[in-house]
Amino acid sequence: GAVVSQHPSRVICKSGTSVKIECRSLDFQATTMFWYRQFPKQSLMLMATSNEGSKATYEQGVEKDKFLINHASLTLSTLTVTSAHPEDSSFYICSARDELSGNTIYFGEGSWLTVV
């Protein structure tokens, strides 16, 4: 079946630095990808919708300048957490929509970010 891959699966960075997380659709093209954030023992919260070739659509309350999203190709979206703070530590999950299979949504494996 379709696979969505995230990299890195775990990353530790220092406060004030930036970190990039990649989301790739491995065997289908995705014009739309989604980024979620999940705190421990909580649900997934949609952060933004990543649109290939155009600006991302951010959910209310999500800082655009802090969480930079780039969707430069049909198989890759990146989330960059800029000037990271410890409160940005979380589990980030992406998903991609396969328009050729009935708009089925496939999730990546997720990325643990720890800011120290």
Partner 1 sequence: AQTVTQSQPEMSVQEAETVTLSCTYDTSESNYYLFWYKQPPSRQMILVIRQEAYKQQNATENRFSVNFQKAAKSFSLKISDSQLGDTAMYFCAFRGPRSGGGADGLTFGKGTHLIIQP
The single residue listed with the structure tokens 């990808």 is 33
The answer to whether 22 contacts partner 1 (rule: CB under 8 A) is: no
Of 20-28, 53-61, 71-79, 81-89, the segment contacting partner 1 by CB under 8 A is 53-61
What single-letter DSSP state applies at residue 16? T
**Cα–Cα distance between 88 and 104 in angstroms, integer?**
29
Q: Can you count the helices (H) and strands (E) in the chain?
A: 0, 11
- Quick check: 91 and 110 in contact, CB under 8 A? yes
Least spacing, CB of residue 16 vs partner 1, in Å: 27
| Residue selected from 13, 20, 52, 57 as contacting partner 1 according to rule CB under 8 A | 57
Question: Which residues are at the interface with partner 1 (CB under 8 A)?
Answer: 32, 34, 36, 38, 42-46, 48-49, 51, 57-60, 91, 93, 95, 97, 103-105, 107, 109-110
